[in-house]
Structure 1
Amino acid sequence: MVLLLLLKAMKDQVPPLHQHMPPCVRLSHLFIWAIATARNALVILFAGLIAYSFQVMGSQPFLLTGKTAEGLPPFRLPPFSVVTPNGTVSFNQMVQDMGAGLAVVPLMALLESITIAKTFASQNSYHIDSNQELLAIGLTNLLGSFVSSYPVTGSFGRTALNAQAGVCTPAGGLVTGVLVILSLVYLTPFFYYIPKAALAAVIITAVAPLFDAKILWTIWRVKRMDLVPLSVTFLLCFWEVQYGILAGMLVSGILLLYHMARPQIQQVSKGPVLILRPISGLHFPAVEALRETIYSQALSASPPCGTILDCTHVSNIDYTVVTGFGELLEEFQNHGTSLVFAKLQAPVLSDLLSADLKGFQHFSTLEEAEKYLSEE
C-alpha cells in the first residue's frame, strides 16, 4: 500500500509543459517530469535496497524475485526434440503434451494484443490496422523461436507503463528492447533482491487508470444483455485468465446465435395479400422461426392468404435458408395459395435462382408482387 501511495504521489507531481514558459522554468519542469517519469525505476531501486538491508540483518519479510538466468540466450534453430534424463522427447510427443494449449496460447496472444491496441487507440484517438498487428505478432514469434523466447504478445502492464512514461512512438519499443538486453547482460544479479510486492505495485498503479467503472452504467442504460458476457469474463479471470476470455467468447457466441435464431419480421400489411419484411439477415438458426411466423400468419388463416416476402434488408442467405424457402413454397402450393419474393438483392437472387426452387417467383417492387397475387 505504501508503494502504491508513493507511486501515485510521484505521478501527481508531473507538471504541464507549456510552450510559453521562460526557458529556465521549462528546464526545471522538464527535470521534474524526467524524475516523475522514472518513478517506477526509483520505487524498484528503493524497494530493492530495503530488501537487501533486511537480508544483511538476517531477516527477510518480503517475497523476493530470486535468481534470474544471466546473459543472452544462444541464437539457434528451434529444437524439434529434447534430450532428458529419461530419454529423448520427440516433436510429436511435445505437441501431445501441450494439448489444448497449442491452440489456446496463440488465441490468447492475439486476443490480448488486439484488445490492448484498441484500448489505447481509443484513449488516444488514433487508428490501428489489426492485420498489421497480427503480422507483427506472427513475425516476432517466428524470430523469437530462434532465441528460445516465450510466446510474444501484448502486455497491459508494460504498455500502461510506457503510456504513463510519455512514450508516443514505436521508438519506445527499441529503447525498451535495448534496456532489456543490457539488463540481461549486466544487471540480473541485482534482480534477486527486488520484492515481488514492488513489481506488483508498479503494475497495479500503471493498469488501474485503464479500468473505467462508468462504462458499466453506460452498458446498463444502452443494452443490459451485454453485461452478461462482461460479468462472466471478469469473474472467471480471477480463476484463470484464459478460461475467462474463452468463457466470454462462448457466452457472446450463444447470445449472437440466440438473436440470429429469432429474426425480427415486420408485418407491413395484412388483408387478401400479406406482406412480411424480415428486419435482419437470414441464416440457418433463423429458418424455424421464419417458417413458424409465416405459417401462423398466412397459412393458418381461413382461407390461407397469399404472402409477399419483402427481402429489402436481407443481404445474404445460406443453404439451410434456401432449403427452408423451398419447403415453404411447397406448403403454400399445398394450401392453394402463393408465396412470392420482392426486392431481392443481387447475391440473394443469384442463390435462389441457382437452387432452381419449384414455384419460385420474384419481383423488383411490392406493387408488381401485389398485382401478381391479386390477379392470381
Structure 2
Amino acid sequence: MTERAWRYILGMVQKRLPILEWLPHYSLKWLQLDSIAGLTVGLTVVPQALAYAEVAGLPVQYGLYSSFMGCFVYFFLGTSRDVTLGPTAIMSLLVSFYALHQPTYAVLLTFLSGCIQLAMGILHLDFLLEFISYPVIKGFTSAASITIGFGQIKNLLGLHDIPQQFFFQVYYTFLKVGQTRLGDTILGLVCIVLLLLLKAMRDQVPPLHQQMPRCVRLSHIIVWSITTARNALVILFAGLIAYSFQVMGSQPFLLTGKTAEGLPPFQLPPFSEATSNGTVSFIQMVQDMGAGLAVVPLMALLESITIAKTFASQNSYHIDSNQELLAIGLTNLLGSFVSSYPVTGSFGRTAVNAQTGVCTPAGGLVTGVLVMLSLAYLTPLFYYIPKAALAAVIITAVAPLFDAKILWTVWRVKRLDLVPMCVTFLFCFWEVQYGILAGILVSGMLLLYHVARPQIQQISKGPVLVLRPISGLHFPAVETLWKTVYNQALSASPPRCTILDCTHICNVDYTVMTGLGELLEEFQNHGASLVFAKLQAPVLFDLLSADLKGFQHFSTLEEAEKYLSEE
C-alpha cells in the first residue's frame, strides 16, 4: 500500500476517533483540570438525573442508568471538550410523552433513536437539522419549561392522581389544591429558595486571579465549589431532614421510596413486553411510540449539536457536526443495553464543565465513574429523598429555559419569525409533536413563500428593460417570473426588449428551463427579444443543453444592451 493511501486511512481513523488527536499531547496539568471538572459535573448530574427520571415518568434509578454511557462514548468520539451527554429536561419530557411511563418503551426508544442517529451520521444527513429554525426551537423550549415546571407542582404540594396532559394537569392541580400537604410544600419552597440563593452567590463570585492572596483564592474555590454543587447539597439536606423524621416515627414528606440497587445488567433492549393481557409485540410498541421515533432523535441531535457549536464558538475551537451525530447515536445505541432512556447534550452541565476549565473529553470519565459508584453504593439512600426536593431541583433547572426577552428581540429584528415561534409555543401545550411539526411547517411555508415569490429588481427603465432576480430562481418561482416579465415587457405598447440579468442564479431545474423556453416563444410572438446576461458557467451549460429556441446570452449587460439597440 502506498504512503498516500496510508495517510488517507490514518486521516479517516483520526477523523472518526478524535481522541487520537489530543491524547498524544495529554499532560499532567490537563489531567488535574479534567479531574476537577469531571468531579464537579458528577456532583451536578447525580441529583439532576434522579429529578429528570421523575419528569420522564420512570423510576429514579433510570436517570442514573442514562448518565454514564455518554461519558465513556464521548471520550473516544466527541469533538467538543465541553459537552456532557446525559438526561435533560427536554428529553425527559419527550420520553414521558412517547414512552408512556414504561421503562421497556423508554429503553427501546433509546435503541431505535440511536440507530436512526447513527444512520443519519453514516449518510451525512446532519444538514436536515438546519431546517428547524431558531424561533421553533425557542418556542418549544419555552413551552417545555412551563410544562415541566408546572408538572412538578403536584410534587411540590404533595398531591396524588394528577394526569399528565397539560390542560388536565392544570385543572386537577387547582381542583385538588385543598389536599396540599404542608410538609412537602414548606420543604419544597425552602429548597427552591436555597437553590436560588446559591445560584445567585455563584453568579456574583468574581473571576479567580493568580494575583489574589492564597487565602482569598482558597475561599473563592470553596464558595465556587459549594454553589456549583448546590443541587447535591440541597438533596442531601432534604434527605437528612426526611431521615430524621423517619427515625422519630413520623414522615411529613412524600419520599422517592425503594430504588433498585446496583449497576444495571448489560443486556439486549426489550423488543417485546409481557403484560397481564398477553405480550405486546415489537411492531405494536413501535406503533405506540409513533412520531416519537422522529421527534426524539431529531431533538436530541439538535439540542446536543447546538450546545456543542455554542461552546466551541465561545472557546475558539471547531467541532464536526457529523461526528457529533455519530457520537450521540452510538451513546444511545449502547445506552439501551444498560437500560438508559434517550440522552443528549446538557446545557447546564456543559456550562459547569466549561467554567471549571475542562481541557479534553477525558473529564467525562471521572463523571461516569462517579455515577457508577453512586449506583453501586448509594441507591439505598435514595429512599429518603423527598419528591418535593427533586421538584425544586427541576423547577430551578428549567426556569431559565423560558426566555421572555426573545419576543422583543425577534419583534425588533424580524417580526414574521414570531409566527412560527408562537405557533410552536401554543401547540406544544396540546401535544409536543404537534407543536414542533406545526412550527416546522409554518417556517417551511415562510421559506417557500420567499422562494416562490422572488424579488425581481428592475435595473433600467429605458427602451431596453433589464430585470434581475435578486434571490435566485427555482421551480416555484417560474410563475412569478413569467407574470413579472409579461406585465413589464409584453403588456407595454410597443412590447419592450428585455435583458434577464442572471447574476444571482446559480442553478436551474427542468421546470425553470421550460418556463424560460415559453417566455422566449412569447417574446417572438410579440415581435420583441429576450436575451440573457452574466450567466454562471453551470447555468449556461444547462441552458445550452436544453436547446431553447431563440436563446442568446452575453457576458455583460453592456454587450446585451448594444445588441438589442442595434437590433
1:180 to 371, 377, 386: 371
Q: CA deviation at 1:240?
A: 4.0
What is the CA–CA distance in structure 2 between the aligned matches of 1:204 and 1:344, rounded to whole Å?
Answer: 58
Q: CA deviation at 1:55?
A: 4.8
What is the CA–CA distance in structure 1 between the aligned matches of 2:393 and 2:216, rounded to whole Å?
Answer: 29
Match of 1:312 in 2: 503
CA contact (8 A) 2:192 2:393 kept: yes
In percent, how many aligned pairs have the same letter? 86
1:185-264 equivalences in 2 (<5 Å): 185-209=376-400, 212-264=403-455
* Structure 1 counterpart SS, 2:345: coil
Task: Name the CA shift for 1:79/1:2 in 2 (closer, same or farther; >3 Å).
Answer: closer
Q: CA deviation at 1:310?
A: 0.1
Higher RCO by CA contacts (8 Å cutoff, separation 6 or greater): 2
What is the CA–CA distance in structure 1 between the aligned matches of 2:315 and 2:388, rounded to whole Å?
Answer: 30
What is the CA–CA distance in structure 2 between the aligned matches of 1:158 and 1:196, rounded to whole Å?
Answer: 22
**Deviations 1:30-60, CA, capped at 9 Å, x for gaps:** 2232222222111011122233445556665
What is the CA–CA distance in structure 2 between the aligned matches of 1:221 and 1:234, rounded to whole Å?
Answer: 19
2:465 is aligned with 1:274: yes
2:334 is aligned with 1:143: yes
Which is worse superposed, 308-317 or 22-31?
A: 22-31
What is the CA–CA distance in structure 1 between the aligned matches of 2:271 and 2:429, rounded to whole Å?
Answer: 35
* Structure 2 counterpart SS, 1:170: coil
CA contact (8 A) 1:108 1:242 kept: no
Give the CA RMSD over aligned residues.
Answer: 2.8
Higher helix content, 1 or 2: 2
Match of 1:2 in 2: 190
What is the CA–CA distance in structure 2 between the aligned matches of 1:114 and 1:320, rounded to whole Å?
Answer: 36
2:294 to 103, 110, 123: 103
What is the CA–CA distance in structure 2 between the aligned matches of 1:59 and 1:241, rounded to whole Å?
Answer: 41
Q: CA deviation at 1:126?
A: 5.1
1:68 to 250, 254, 259: 259
* Structure 1 counterpart SS, 2:467: strand
What is the CA–CA distance in structure 2 between the aligned matches of 1:32 and 1:24, rounded to whole Å?
Answer: 12
CA contact (8 A) 2:291 2:433 kept: no
Q: Return the TM-score normalized by structure 2.
A: 0.60
What is the CA–CA distance in structure 2 between the aligned matches of 1:168 and 1:213, rounded to whole Å?
Answer: 34
Q: CA deviation at 1:19?
A: 0.9
- Equivalent pairs, count: 376
CA contact (8 A) 1:157 1:203 kept: no
Task: Name the CA shift for 1:53/1:233 in 2 (closer, same or farther; >3 Å).
Answer: farther
CA contact (8 A) 2:228 2:352 kept: no
The amino acid across from 1:293 in the alignment is T
The amino acid across from 1:19 in the alignment is Q
What is the CA–CA distance in structure 1 between the aligned matches of 2:450 and 2:261, rounded to whole Å?
Answer: 55
Which is worse superposed, 11-20 or 258-267?
A: 11-20
**Deviations 1:215-260, CA, capped at 9 Å, x for gaps:** 4333222211122222223333444444333322222111111111
What is the CA–CA distance in structure 1 between the aligned matches of 2:256 and 2:351, rounded to whole Å?
Answer: 22
CA contact (8 A) 2:489 2:498 kept: yes
The amino acid across from 1:363 in the alignment is F
What is the CA–CA distance in structure 1 between the aligned matches of 2:355 and 2:252, rounded to whole Å?
Answer: 30
CA contact (8 A) 1:268 1:277 kept: yes
What is the CA–CA distance in structure 2 between the aligned matches of 1:53 and 1:40, rounded to whole Å?
Answer: 20
Task: Name the CA shift for 1:283/1:63 in 2 (closer, same or farther; >3 Å).
Answer: farther
Which is worse superposed, 134-143 or 61-70?
A: 61-70
Match of 2:492 in 1: 301
CA contact (8 A) 2:517 2:548 kept: yes
Which is worse superposed, 135-144 or 7-16?
A: 7-16
Match of 2:212 in 1: 21
What is the CA–CA distance in structure 2 between the aligned matches of 1:254 and 1:67, rounded to whole Å?
Answer: 51
Match of 1:11 in 2: 199
Q: CA deviation at 1:297?
A: 0.4
What is the CA–CA distance in structure 1 between the aligned matches of 2:513 and 2:452, rounded to whole Å?
Answer: 16
Which is worse superposed, 164-173 or 298-307?
A: 164-173
Match of 2:62 in 1: none
What is the CA–CA distance in structure 1 between the aligned matches of 2:357 and 2:390, rounded to whole Å?
Answer: 20
What is the CA–CA distance in structure 2 between the aligned matches of 1:274 and 1:113, rounded to whole Å?
Answer: 51
CA contact (8 A) 1:311 1:342 kept: yes
Q: CA deviation at 1:157?
A: 5.1
**Deviations 1:352-373, CA, capped at 9 Å, x for gaps:** 1222222211111112211222
